[in-house]
Structure 1
Amino acid sequence: MENIVQSLRMEREKPFCAYLYDLSKLRHHVNQLMTTLPSACRLFYAIKANSDANLLTTLAPMVHGFEVASLGEIEKVRAVDAKIPILFGGPGKTQEEIEGAIHHGVTLLHVESIHELQLVNHIASQKGTTVSILLRVNLRSSVPNAQLKMAGVPTQFGIDEVEVPNAIALAKSLPNVKLLGFHFHAMSNNGDSKTHVYFVDHCFEMAKTWGKEWNIDISYINVGGGIGINYQDVENQFDWVDFMEGLEKVLEKHNNTNWQTLFECGRYITSSCGYYAAEVLDIKQNHGKSFCVIRGGSHHLRLPAAWKSSHPFTIVPVEKWSYPFARPELNDSVITVAGELCTPNDVLARDISVPRIRVGDILLFSYAGAYGWAISHHDFLSHPHPEHLYIESDSINGSGAKTEDKRLQIKISVV
């Protein structure tokens, strides 16, 4: 990727700033997930992580479906694939969204509250149809080391575990909803495979208890996503192989259930295929600290500022220097990477040791394919948007150089 960035920079007059998505890497990663997933499981992509149309088009033939959280996301999915299964979750669904879900043939609707349950039934009655639902449960316990928690703590998500029996009773009494199981999305960015196995097992136990007590014909148990990315130690990522081994044991333990187990992963699917590249515009010292100011920032890649963390990057050297004065640089220094916004919160990495960095070099942030551009405040200060480049890297060998018989393919779209 560094060679690609260097080549792209030489083709441009203005400072370089771009998102780059390696679509071949995405296919390879997802193929590994799909081929190791047990046959009783289904993998959906949560498009909130990145709803870029090129990524959705790449993923649609590979995953079992998409998970969405708004009517807008439903429409994005249907623009790519008219028939692919859709799971629809999220709090605060409006009448328009529920009507849209029915219109677009959403497969399962995750009901978040007693009120929403009644609203879905009312709208389905008016439409003369029945909506297949899962009740979203806010468990009283969750995975303790997950970075964000949607359950196990007071949040706006799902139905409190103690209120689930009341929700089941109501659902069974309503003529225009069909209760097919439970939804347990409880966390985000969990990096520990063993605690994730424990969580899935706990979800099974809870669903079995309610299924037996209320004589529910359960078809699905949705254990959500929440599988994380280690941004601080990129060599030490979630152990998918260990998780699959543990998951097989959980499924064997509960082999009398005959349910489909649904996963709705976002970050873990697309994060590693995406990169954010931004050119260094200035190097300066203030109050004893060194700052590198880049052409870009948190209005493009908000995640590190939102989590107050340092995002991993490498330095791509650019030898071209067009000015008649000395090129600013630092050697064996500790730097903070700041963006071009007029706020001290516009920081992407703090106190990072680098061997050498110069104005005009490019910082290449990895693991930027999820919750990057999609969650950022693009138009703050009205700076230009980054380019969005889609790379088919099957034509590149291990060193990043072009192969002799194929050309590097890059598709460019303007956002």
Structure 2
Amino acid sequence: MTRPVYVHDLDALAAHVRSVRSALPERVELLYAVKANPDPGVLRSLAPAVDGFEAASRGELRRLAEVLPDRPPAAYAGPGKTDEDLAAALAAGAGRVHVESPAELRRLGALARAAGTTAGVLLRVNLPVAAPGASLVMGGGPSPFGMDPADVRECARRPPAGVDIRGVHAHLASGLDAPLAGQVATAVVEWAVAEVGAAEVDVGGGMAVDYTDPTARFDWAGYGRDLTRILDRHPGLRLRIEPGRALTAYCGTYLTEVIDVKRSYGEWFVVVAGGTHHLRTPAAKGHSQPFTVHRRPADGQPRTDGGRVTVVGQLCTPKDVLARSVDSGPVGVGDVLIFAMAGAYAWNISHRDFLLHEPPEFRTGDPRDVAAGWATRP
């Protein structure tokens, strides 16, 4: 039995990010949200093509310092920042701190004054912007994220010493297609310029990734045209975006071997090594992770009849499901399942210590080559 393995295709990642960069206006700064996948190889591959990195914890600051020591983070974000977090962001030379509340702004100002510096700040605003069809909404109503518009206006009018408020940050929703993302960005910028005179606006990420179609891509060219129109209306504006999942989801693949197949009340279950403690994405998003089957010689091993299957892992919970009732063709013991789109919010968000199973291995390259070279069955 070969341990499950993550494969990062770094060449494909670099090519994808270059295509994203080329579709955007030159004046738009492209940041990568490290939370999506902080793998060192991923960060190094992204570095030449992005304008900076957005960190959301001291751990991510440390990772960036280790992997890219000459590249201070462009932004430091996240709710619930402690004084230690804010001090670490200042020490790391973060270009902008995304401030979540008036109290956080006051604490940051005091820390900056004590350190003899000034913190560049974007105020995170929770705007009532409609986002129909979004998969996850974080704004427009009561939320732990960001500030009400009135609080942002007050902070901008009366900032404490030690901070330089440059503008506004807003990440209001995720799962936005390009037209909706353009509408949200336009609404955020128009509010920020009109209400607080923002010189800079970070409109966040949240670009849609379609797990039902691994070949689909966000319409970066269309989004770029919308951002161009925004910049044409505000020629002096500094505009940023910070995608994560939409950059790295496609570069990661999770390969695992089939341990058993069985029928239960007429339904086929395919049991694989590993599971959602390695790849939590399908459990977190409530979808079936797309996969293909690398079939190996049957050798008399059990095999499904070609009907729908549910793929489960090794955990002692009925929630350990990677794909539910999907068409895959016949699947047999010893086959290798190749789960696509595992390059974001996958291993890094998984409950890896549940049952204390062995972690997966990690490799770089083409996942098809790795699958073809998988040890043959005895």
- SS of match in other structure, 1:242: helix
Q: Equivalent of 1:202, from 184, 187, 202? A: 187
Structure 1, unmatched stretches of 5+, are: 1-13, 403-407, 409-415
Compared with structure 1, are the counterparts of its residues 401 and 166 closer, same or farther at alpha carbon in structure 2 (3 Å cutoff)? closer
Q: Distance in 1 between matches of 2:76 and 2:168?
A: 13
Q: Distance in 2 between matches of 1:229 and 1:178?
A: 35
Question: Which residue of structure 2 aligns with residue 8 of structure 1?
Answer: none
Q: Distance in 2 between matches of 1:128 and 1:245?
A: 42
Alignment of 1:157-306 (within 5 A): 157-171=145-159, 174-190=160-176, 192-211=177-196, 216=197, 218-252=198-232, 254-256=233-235, 258-306=236-284
Higher strand fraction: Structure 1 or Structure 2? 1
**Post-superposition shift, 1:202?**
0.5
Q: Deviations over 1:324-377 (max 9, x none)?
A: xx3100132110000110000000111101221111101111110000001001
Compared with structure 1, are the counterparts of its residues 285 and 319 closer, same or farther at alpha carbon in structure 2 (3 Å cutoff)? same
**Post-superposition shift, 1:16?**
4.1
Q: Distance in 2 between matches of 1:27 and 1:178?
A: 34
Q: Distance in 1 between matches of 2:225 and 2:157?
A: 36
Q: Distance in 2 between matches of 1:241 and 1:105?
A: 32
Confirm whether residue 366 of structure 1 aligns to residue 352 of structure 2: no
Q: Equivalent of 1:128, from 103, 113, 116? A: 116
Kept in 1, the 8 Å contact 2:23–2:220? The answer is: no
Q: Distance in 1 between matches of 2:354 and 2:130?
A: 36
**Post-superposition shift, 1:61?**
2.2
- SS of match in other structure, 1:45: strand
Q: Distance in 1 between matches of 2:329 and 2:152?
A: 56
1:71 maps to a residue whose letter is: R
Kept in 1, the 8 Å contact 2:102–2:151? The answer is: no
Q: Distance in 1 between matches of 2:259 and 2:147?
A: 49
Q: Deviations over 1:82-125 (max 9, x none)?
A: 23242001111111111111111111000000110100011111
Sequence identity of aligned pairs in percent?
A: 38
Q: Distance in 2 between matches of 1:222 and 1:76?
A: 23
Question: Which residue of structure 1 aligns with residue 326 of structure 2?
Answer: 352
Kept in 2, the 8 Å contact 1:197–1:250? The answer is: no
1:299 maps to a residue whose letter is: H
Confirm whether residue 382 of structure 1 aligns to residue 356 of structure 2: yes
**Post-superposition shift, 1:53?**
1.1
Q: Distance in 2 between matches of 1:27 and 1:124?
A: 37
Confirm whether residue 141 of structure 1 aligns to residue 129 of structure 2: yes
**Post-superposition shift, 1:168?**
1.6
- SS of match in other structure, 1:248: helix
**Post-superposition shift, 1:144?**
2.0
Question: Which residue of structure 1 aligns with residue 23 of structure 2?
Answer: 36
Structure 2, unmatched stretches of 5+, are: 373-378
How many residues in Structure 1 have an aligned counterpart in Structure 2?
Answer: 370
1:209 maps to a residue whose letter is: A
Compared with structure 1, are the counterparts of its residues 367 and 298 closer, same or farther at alpha carbon in structure 2 (3 Å cutoff)? same
**Post-superposition shift, 1:163?**
2.4
Structure 1 stretches of at least 4 aligned residues deviating more than 4 Å after TM superposition: none
**Post-superposition shift, 1:242?**
1.8
**Post-superposition shift, 1:234?**
2.7
**Post-superposition shift, 1:260?**
1.5
Question: Which residue of structure 1 aligns with residue 376 of structure 2?
Answer: none
- SS of match in other structure, 1:67: strand
Q: Distance in 2 between matches of 1:358 and 1:320?
A: 7
Question: Which residue of structure 1 aligns with residue 375 of structure 2?
Answer: none
